[in-house]
Amino acid sequence: MARPIARVLTLLELLQSGGIRTVGELADRLGVDERTVRRYVDHLLDLDVPVESVRGRYGGYRLGPGYRMPPLMLNDDEALAVLLGLVAGRRAGLTTAAGAGAGAGAASEAAAGETAAAKIRRVLPERLRARLDTVLGSLAFTGPGGEEAAVPDTTVLLALADAVSHHRPVALRYTTAGGRRGERTLRPYGLVAHAGRWYVTGAAEPSGEDRTFRLDRIADVRTLPGAFEPPADVDPAARVLTGLATAPYRYEVVLRIAGTTEQIRTRLPASVAVVTAPPTPPTSASGPDDPAHWPRVELHVERLDWLPGVLASLDLPFAIERPDELRALVTALSDRLHHSAHRPPPGVT
């Protein structure tokens, strides 16, 4: 009887991850009984793989120290995930120096990412390289990732990338943030990686309204017949950032801030606020201190309590158009700061 080579290799892969694996755990992962696991271990021993048996209550099997691993073997999804991570990290600026002090170490890290991606790419079948190129060709980055990553399903990612590349409409099954399930038809314009999450943006059919969906909330993608022509000036990244900044929340905040767009963006990025330059420069009658000639800043937020501190940290003159609740919160923060500034230090009466 031929040996089940695939399961023996899977056993080796499990042992390579390190630590002691119990016989019961290995049996569950391989879908066999414990007696078969022991037989597979014998197969590895016949191949001169030093598998050690550990006795006791928490015993099992482990690889012997100093064992040289065989060449890395990846399935299609794993290879695409590794390559996409390396390339996306480089394009999003995750492997570059944070400052001049990073020096040769950062350069070495970036070079290592380049060479690792090149080595894996060289051994990929042509069809896999084509799939990776399709994803990268449809993807935009807004900057380094956030702390909380939401990884999309590979099948969903590849299907959407192909639809973006070939301008094909798709049918989506998704779950909203509130847990409601739905289906939509979308003409996808591009994929965007922003703050650790992946988004697809495009025009919903038949209305043509702009829509953006998080990929980790999409359960299924089905490519539909036909094709469409995307707008010539479409910018998927800008669409996603604007959509996040204008999403319907409890409060609509409108401010006037006396500063440049770059200054305002240091505390209120494009994914949080929409900044509109004043339509006309100040006249001699109004002067530069007239809020009507300051940039207009619009936010949609669920809570207001964090905004007074952000406005204070900007250290720029501002005016609140709405809501009135924000005025009260800013006044309360001002009172607390004033009280703290005049509080005597310990031991002084």
Maximum average pLDDT range among 79-88, 125-134, 140-149: 125-134
Kindly report the number of other CB atoms within 10 A of residue 279's CB atom: 8
**Structure-block tokens of residue 167:** 């301008």
Mean pLDDT of 162-189: 90
pLDDT digits (tens, 9 = 90+) for 290-336: 888 899 999 988 889 999 999 999 999 999 999 999 999 999 999 99
In the beta sheet, which residues pair with residue 255? 297, 320
On whether residue 260 sits in a domain, the answer given is yes
For residue 129, the enclosing domain spans 76-137
Say if residue 92 is in the same domain as residue 43: no
Say if residue 280 is in the same domain as residue 337: yes
Q: Calculate the average pLDDT of the chain.
A: 80
Count CA atoms within 13 Å of residue 60 on its CB side.
18
- The residue among 179, 213, 245 that closes a domain is 245
On whether residue 44 sits in a domain, the answer given is yes
Mean pLDDT of 133-158: 69
- Assess whether pLDDT exceeds 50 at residue 131: yes
Name the domain count of the chain: 4
Mean pLDDT of 202-221: 89
Rg of the chain taking only CA atoms, in angstroms? 28
- The residue among 89, 109, 137 that closes a domain is 137
pLDDT digits (tens, 9 = 90+) for 85-110: 776 666 554 443 334 344 444 444 44
Q: What is the pTM of this model?
A: 0.52
- Assess whether pLDDT exceeds 90 at residue 241: no
On whether residue 70 sits in a domain, the answer given is no
- Assess whether pLDDT exceeds 80 at residue 159: yes
Greater confidence (327 vs 11) lies with 327
- Assess whether pLDDT exceeds 70 at residue 345: yes
Find out whether 219 and 174 touch, Cβ atoms under 8 Å: yes
Greater confidence (271 vs 51) lies with 51
Q: Please classify residue 278 by burial: count the beta carbons closer than 10 Å to its beta carbon, then call 0-12 exposed, 13-18 middle and 19+ buried.
A: middle
Strand, coil or helix: 41:
helix
pLDDT of 287 reads 55
Say if residue 109 is in the same domain as residue 126: yes
In the chain, % of residues over pLDDT 70: 78
In the beta sheet, which residues pair with residue 201? 190, 212
**Structure-block tokens of residue 52:** 């050690």
Confidence at 119, pLDDT banded by 50, 70, 90: low
CA distances, 224 to each of 66, 167, 259 (Å):
53, 11, 48
pLDDT of 49 reads 85
pLDDT of 206 reads 84
On whether residue 149 sits in a domain, the answer given is no
pLDDT of 200 reads 92
pLDDT of 102 reads 42
Exposed e or buried b per residue across 229-263, where buried means at least 16 C-beta atoms within 10 angstroms of its C-beta: eeeeeeebbebbbbbbbeeeeeeebebbbbbeeeb
Kindly report the number of other CB atoms within 10 A of residue 40's CB atom: 23
pLDDT digits (tens, 9 = 90+) for 248-264: 778 889 999 999 999 99
pLDDT digits (tens, 9 = 90+) for 26-65: 998 888 999 999 999 998 888 888 889 888 777 789 888 7
Say if residue 116 is in the same domain as residue 172: no
- Assess whether pLDDT exceeds 90 at residue 155: no
Q: What is the Cα–Cα distance from 101 to 1, expressed in whole angstroms?
A: 62
Confidence at 148, pLDDT banded by 50, 70, 90: low
Q: What is the Cα–Cα distance from 250 to 304, expressed in whole angstroms?
A: 9
- Assess whether pLDDT exceeds 60 at residue 146: no
On whether residue 146 sits in a domain, the answer given is no
Say if residue 130 is in the same domain as residue 168: no
On whether residue 147 sits in a domain, the answer given is no
pLDDT of 2 reads 43
Instruction: Give me the CATH number covering residue 196.
Output: 2.30.30.520
